[in-house]
Amino acid sequence: MTQTPETSAISTPTLPAQYTPADVESRRYEAWVSDGVFTADVASDKPPFTIVIPPPNVTGSLHMGHAFEHTLMDALVRRRRMQGYEALWLPGMDHAGIATQNLVERQLGTEGKSRHDLGREAFVERVWQWKAESGGAILGQMRRLGDSVDWSRERFTMDEGLSRAVQTMFKKLFDDGLIYRANRIINWCPRCLTALSDIEVVHSDDEGELVSIRYSDEIVVATTRAETMLGDTAVAVHPDDERYKHLIGTEVELPLTGRRIPVVADEHVDPAFGTGAVKVTPAHDPNDFEIGQRHDLPSITMMDERGVITVPGPFEGLDRFEARPAVVAALREQGRIVAEKRPYVHAVGHCSRCRTTVEPRLSLQWFVNTGPLAKAAGDAVRDGRVRIDPEDMSKRYFAWVDNMHDWCISRQLWWGHRIPVWYGPDGEVRCVGPDEEPPGEGWEQDTDVLDTWFSSGLWPFSTLGWPERTPDLARFYPTSVLVTGYDILFFWVARMMMFGLYAMDGKQPFDVIALHGMVRDEHGKKMSKSFGNVVDPLDWMDRFGADATRFTLARGANPGQDVPVSEEWCQGSRNFCNKLWNATRFALMNGAHVDGPLPTELSTTDRWILSRLEHVIDEADELFERFEFAKICDVLYHFAWDDVCDWYVELSKPVLAAGGPAAEATRRVLGHVLDQLLRLLHPVIPFVTDELWIALHGTGTVARAAWPQLDKALVDDAAEAEIEALQRVVTEIRRFRSDQGLRPAQRVAARLDGLGVVAPHEWLIRSLARLDDAGAEFAASATLSVAGGVRVGLDTRGAIDVAAERARLEKDRAAAEKEAAQCRAKLGNEAFVGKAPEHVVTKIKERLATAEADLARIGAALEALSA
């Protein structure tokens, strides 16, 4: 494949008849890497272009969502690289605290051990061992997809440098008073045994029960969590609720416990919900906690960290879900259950990692005060320093950052960045920076680790060397574009914005946030294991190739919209790659080349395709700037398939066969057009384009080739008009042939008149429409009249199918009549003529003229038919 194509027209084919991705992909990828194509040079004088990869989870493997996101990023980076930017796409992974710890604990479980058997240090060592052996499978899969990432700069959130960044950030926030420790109600996972942040909780509408319990003669409360009554410390009513006004300040006896609890008045009680009286369990409900704070109520923690009841008595030792029916049964026995609604559908929070029902739990945790950080994060978008694309998505962003709660960052895990705070023997608290010695004897370090998102929030600058002032950081920060899904706009993006602006003295972490949608199946359904509609990108890559997989994903990528994919579309993408392969194959077989400048003497066909190419370059550039990947693919697909393959190549065949200088010129133009087309497509389908580009050039790689430059001098309106006219004539003849049932191979004698501008191309028309010259015995059995005054007389050597011909003409006439009627109606409307812009009126007049000419032409043809 690397041999230089011969310039002779009789060169032998250099490519097999079908494109086989497996023969190309790994070979090409290895070549790119070993040639250092992806390695960014910090010392070059090119303008920088930086993207950091949204770090995939170290436990994960490549799913369609990754493949999609990576395809878009790769396309952006590859194009910028070709445009002469110093392009850096920085890869890496995050340590996924809960997921990874769960995974290794499960592994230990199969050996009959728990992490506690190993102890903290040995367990963490074991996790590292796991990572070394089987973590990061996704990195190899990214190579298969063709990701042009700079592997020399790969980072991991738990590596030394990033850990240093985490500690530095924590200390900085701590010293600025933006990190604090407090007893709060947090989301607790009784299975993972750790706190979760709000965003790690997923809500779903679940079937539960709503039980109304009589607390006294006058007070009935409704609850979905009857067991928590064991921890009630008050009943609350609205201060204006006439039903209960007289009870405020009194006490009731809490059933089953014998405890007496007060009735308090609180504005936040909704008098319309249930009976208007609510039970208050400050240690197990965030709203109740607030009520407890306002009324100085005690908090009774009535279950342990595993969700097991700890209140002494008959329920002690029961799991929360066993305790619920037990408590209800006990209350019923006392006649205290006045109503039960079952099933009762209500929103329930689940741990995003293990789906266990989250337990609101009162505990001592570390928090980030997000107030000032979130304000800055919002302002950076409001004042235009950071652009969200598509812009509509800004609304979602503001909705989140402008209402952000403080962020619980401590996790009761062992795998992660340990909180750098030490507690002294006399209750002292000291935050230790990265270059400070931990305090000595008698001090103990906090046992918790930080939320994984804390380290991910530093990603755009920690990966470049922060907190050191590295050359990379100076050169590649702020990053150019963040490509990510709208679903984590508030998860991750908002965190990076807060941290980036704060740590980098107000410099935003990225200039543009390009949001994409979710990958869905061909019916727009979310891919899920339980639904059985998950498609594995690795499977597609095996069967259709990485390029086909990428093209399918990019072709569906409308900004911010979800992307449906299906195997059929991937097949279509594979077909497209094969089409390119064969077009290049044809070109090489016919001596197309890329040597020397374009000839000055060019045929109309050559000038036409070059002109079309310029429009395509222009459009592609404009669409790339707007992240319109679907439209980029569409434009290039149609140019490649319709213009280049279906028309230019077909028009070239007779030229090449005729030989001479025109053939020479066409060989050069064909080589040029393919060269440019392959460059334009390379960002999206890197493998096949590189293989073909090398076949065309004999050397190098398209990955280092220059991005096509717009050359307005090549735009040629006259050539375009001529070829379009030619296409109309050819298509009209083909249509006639098809309607008449003439076989494609059957040549038909014809005489062409009134060709006008296309007269010089009559021989091309004859070639494409398979027409023979009119001989001495020529007698037209049918005459076609094509728009533009072209008349085609055809000798079909026999009776023509009059009915078919009439039907065709009637159809054309109906269309022309409709068109004419519409135009006349408009022009007859004084308001239209008076108010519509001049150019619109002119256009309608032209359309009417065309339609009337068509009617006359078709009418005459019909008349001739019946004669």
Partner RNA sequence: GGGCGCGUAGCUCAGCGGUAGAGCACUCGCCUUACAAGCGAGAAGUCGCAGGUUCGAAACCUGCCGCGCCCA
Q: Which residues are annotated as a binding site for ATP?
A: 529
Residue 731 contacts RNA per CB under 7 A: yes
Rg of the chain over Cα atoms, rounded to whole angstroms, equals 36
Question: Binding to RNA by residue 743, rule CB under 7 A?
Answer: yes
What backbone phi and psi angles, to 5 degrees, belong to 360?
Answer: -65, 130
Amino acid, res. 702: V
516 sits near RNA (criterion: CB under 7 A): no
CB of 744 to RNA, least distance (A): 3
Stretch that binds RNA, among 300-308, 432-440, 522-530, 751-759 (CB under 7 A): 522-530
Of 403, 428, 408, nearest to 183 by C-alpha is: 408
- Of the chain, the end-to-end C-alpha distance in Å amounts to 62
Q: Which stretch binds RNA (CB under 7 A): 43-51, 73-81, 317-325, 828-836?
A: 828-836
- List the x/- string, 299-328, binding to RNA by CB under 7 A: ------------------------------
Residue matched to tokens 């063709």: 146
**Closest approach of RNA to the CB of residue 835, in Å:** 4
Q: How far apart are CA 99 and CA 836, in angstroms?
A: 63
In the complex, what is the shortest distance from the CB of residue 39 to RNA, in angstroms, rounded to a whole number? 32
What is 636-658 written as a DSSP string? Answer: HHHIIIIIIIIIIIHHHHHHHHH
Stretch that binds RNA, among 114-122, 256-264, 292-300, 584-592 (CB under 7 A): 584-592
- Binding residue (CB under 7 A) for RNA from 22, 122, 137, 202: 202
Beta bridge partners of 421: 431
The torsion angles phi and psi of 180, rounded to 5 degrees, stand at -145, 165
Give me the least distance between CB of 385 and RNA, in Å please. 23
Min CB(559)–RNA separation in Å: 9
Question: How far apart are the C-alpha atoms of 829 and 846, rounded to whole Å?
Answer: 16
Give the length of the chain.
Answer: 867
Min separation Cβ 391 and RNA, Å: 10
Scan residues 338-377 and list those touching RNA (CB under 7 A): 347
Q: How many residues bind RNA (CB under 7 A)?
A: 73
The pattern of x and - marking residues 205 through 234 that bind RNA according to CB under 7 A reads x-----------------------------
853: tokens are 């000419």
Q: Based on CB atoms, which residue is closest to RNA, 375 or 579? A: 579
Per CB under 7 A, the segment of 22-30, 529-537, 638-646, 694-702 that binds RNA is 638-646
Query: In whole angstroms, how far apart are CA 847 and each of 20, 558, 816, 823?
Result: 49, 34, 10, 7
State the nearest-atom distance from the C-beta of 201 to RNA, in Å.
Answer: 7
State both tokens at 143: 């190579």
Quote the least distance from Cβ 269 to RNA, whole Å: 14
Residue type, 467: P
**Structure tokens, 349:** 């929070």
**Binding test (CB under 7 A) with RNA, winner from 329, 474, 718, 840:** 840
- Indicate whether 575 belongs to the interface with RNA (CB under 7 A): yes
Stretch that binds RNA, among 41-49, 154-162, 706-714, 740-748 (CB under 7 A): 740-748
Residue range at the interface with RNA (CB under 7 A); choices 115-123, 274-282, 421-429, 557-565: 557-565
Shortest distance (Å) from residue 747 CB to RNA:
10
Using the rule CB under 7 A, give the single segment among 28-36, 679-687, 772-780, 836-844 that binds RNA.
836-844
What distance in Å separates the CA atoms of residue 381 and residue 367, rounded to the nearest whole number?
A: 25
Of 18, 600, 699, 866, the one binding RNA by CB under 7 A: 18
Contact with RNA (CB under 7 A): which of 125, 568, 595, 622? 568
Residue 650 found at the interface with RNA (CB under 7 A): yes
Environment class of 33 (CB within 10 Å of its CB; exposed 0-12, middle 13-18, buried 19+): middle
- CB closer to RNA out of 80 and 555: 555
Contacts (Cβ under 8 Å, ≥6 apart) of 128: none
* 457 vs 446: CA distance, rounded Å: 22
* Contact status, residue 479 vs residue 50, Cβ threshold 8 Å: yes
Between 17 and 799, name the residue whose CB sits nearer to RNA.
17
If you write DSSP's letter for every residue of 431-469 in order, what string do you get? E--TTSPPP-TT-EE---EE-HHHHHTTHHHHTTTTTS-
Told to check if 513 binds RNA by CB under 7 A, we report no
User: Applying CB under 7 A, which of residues 741, 754, 760, 859 lies at the interface with RNA?
Assistant: 741
Pick the binder of RNA from 154, 241, 319, 739 (CB under 7 A). Answer: 739
Cβ 524 to RNA shortest distance, Å: 4
In the bound state with RNA, the residue whose beta carbon lies nearer, of 77 and 656, is 656
Cβ burial 505-542 (10 Å sphere, 16+ → b, else e): eeebbbebbbbbbbbbbeeeeebeeeeeeebebbebbe
Told to check if 260 binds RNA by CB under 7 A, we report: no
In the complex, minimum distance from the CB of residue 558 to RNA, in angstroms, rounded to a whole number: 4
Scanning the structure block, which residue is given the tokens 């543009």?
A: 512
471, 738, 754, 772: which one binds RNA (CB under 7 A):
738
According to CB under 7 A, which residues from 484 to 503 bind RNA?
487
Q: What is the rounded CA–CA span in Å between residue 255 and residue 335?
A: 11
- Note whether 106 binds RNA by CB under 7 A: no
* Candidates 110-118, 392-400, 424-432, 608-616; binding stretch for RNA (CB under 7 A): 392-400
Residue 615 lies near RNA (rule: CB under 7 A): no
| Number of neighbouring beta carbons within 10 Å of residue 772 | 12
- 847 in contact with RNA (CB under 7 A): yes
Alpha carbon separation from 799 to 322, 779, 780, 802, 809 (Å, rounded): 90, 12, 11, 8, 17
Per CB under 7 A, contacts with RNA among 793-812 are 811
- Burial of 127 from C-beta contacts in 10 A (0-12 / 13-18 / 19+): buried
Of 641 and 778, nearer to RNA (C-beta) is: 641
With respect to RNA, which residue has the nearer C-beta, 18 or 34?
Answer: 18
Under the criterion CB under 7 A, does residue 645 sit at the interface with RNA? yes
CB 745 to RNA: min, Å = 5
Q: Which residues of 182-215 are buried (b: 16+ CB within 10 A; e: fewer)?
A: eebbbbbbbbbebbbbebbbeeeeeebbbbbbbb
- Verify binding: residue 842, RNA, rule CB under 7 A: no
List binders of RNA among 770-789 (CB under 7 A): none
Smallest gap from residue 836 Cβ to RNA (A): 4
Strand 563-564 versus strand 519-520 pairing type? parallel
Q: 69 and 54 in contact (C-beta within 8 Å)?
A: yes
Q: Which one of residues 479, 480, 578, 767 is an interface residue with RNA (CB under 7 A)?
A: 578
Nearest to 79 by CA among 623, 444, 864: 623
Q: Whole-number minimum distance, CB 634 to RNA, in Å?
A: 6
